[in-house]
Structure 1
């Protein structure tokens, strides 16, 4: 009798498992059919067009084809700096760029790498001149923080770059170190994302 009960339970489990798999398959079929419906596709296109018309801002990962647009809002690349243009192209090709854009085009971008002691590091934050002082930088920092997969996230800026320092302070980043020797007479100030707690300010000379 015990063996019969065990067999019965196995049969019941198999039936339930089959029922779940069939339900998932049917749901997937329904969703696929719904998304393929021309009316649904048309409605989606209308929503997208309405968002574009309203100037809705989106932040997404840039792809390789985005690099010319990204370079166009980078003041150094736009001035004809080939090295910066090459860096932007490489960043986009490697999927390191988060791009903020609306109907008018690119508004700003950030670059997230993991080359700083295997922790996240924001190598670059650049906002288009026409989009500054509109909160784009703060939203990019928040989006980059959300995209970071390491326990800590850092960035740095020159001591002379007061706008970037004010932006970082406004979104809660903490200064954690000062590095001399990168740019003559203009030390690099390092910041830690508010998601991690600093252990104390560190000064170093390069």
Structure 2
């Protein structure tokens, strides 16, 4: 069973290890730590094992922006990214949620589309020859309110 919770500082080393498995570097440690401290980092677990994480903020035109979704290689294509996104939607501090992925990341595009995100734009020149595709999801006010109340009750 997949569970999603807010990350705690005790999770930091495990999250950095998962990030290192995916990108081959531990250079995002400070970003992950700051996100945990700001309570803007969610983790997915299967039983007690951390399987992935999501980082977000509200600095993108005052809208929620999912800046990073990482799932450990051994847990990919098992619903962890979708579970993280769905939970984020329930707790989002804004009705508009944005995210992005390189054009070459076909798997992530499928995850966004499966979770009712639509393409919203493109940014050139971040990674040479691999533009960033922006995704968007907007919750109707009544759905947003219902999901947020439900999320609070479940905590």
TM-score (norm 2): 0.83
- In 2, are the aligned partners of 1:108 and 1:126 still within 8 Å (CA)? yes
- In 2, are the aligned partners of 1:119 and 1:150 still within 8 Å (CA)? yes
Separation of aligned partners in 1, 2:42 and 2:15: 10
* Residue in structure 2 matched with residue 175 of structure 1 by the alignment: 119
Give 1:160's match in structure 2, choosing from 104, 108, 133.
Answer: 104
Separation of aligned partners in 2, 1:118 and 1:189: 19
Q: Which runs of 4+ in 1 moved over 4 A?
A: none
Cα 1:78–1:166, aligned 2, differ >3 Å: closer, same or farther? closer
C-alpha displacement at 1:194, in angstroms?
4.8
Q: Which has the larger radius of gyration?
A: 1
Give 1:65's match in structure 2, choosing from 1, 5, 10.
Answer: 10
Separation of aligned partners in 2, 1:139 and 1:187: 26
- Give the count of matched residue pairs: 140
SS of corresponding position for 1:123: strand
The superposition leaves residues 119-177 of structure 1 with CA deviations (integer Å, 9 ceiling, x where unpaired) of 00001011111111111111111001111111210000111111100111111110010
C-alpha displacement at 1:93, in angstroms?
2.0
The gaps in structure 1 that reach 5 residues or longer are 1-55, 197-206
The structure with the greater share of residues assigned to helix is 1
C-alpha displacement at 1:76, in angstroms?
5.6
SS of corresponding position for 1:74: helix
C-alpha displacement at 1:99, in angstroms?
0.5
Over aligned residues, Cα RMSD in angstroms?
Answer: 1.7
The structure with the greater share of residues assigned to strand is 2
- In 1, are the aligned partners of 2:5 and 2:42 still within 8 Å (CA)? yes
TM-score (norm 1): 0.63
Structure ranking higher on relative contact order (CA contacts 8 Å, 6+ apart) = 2
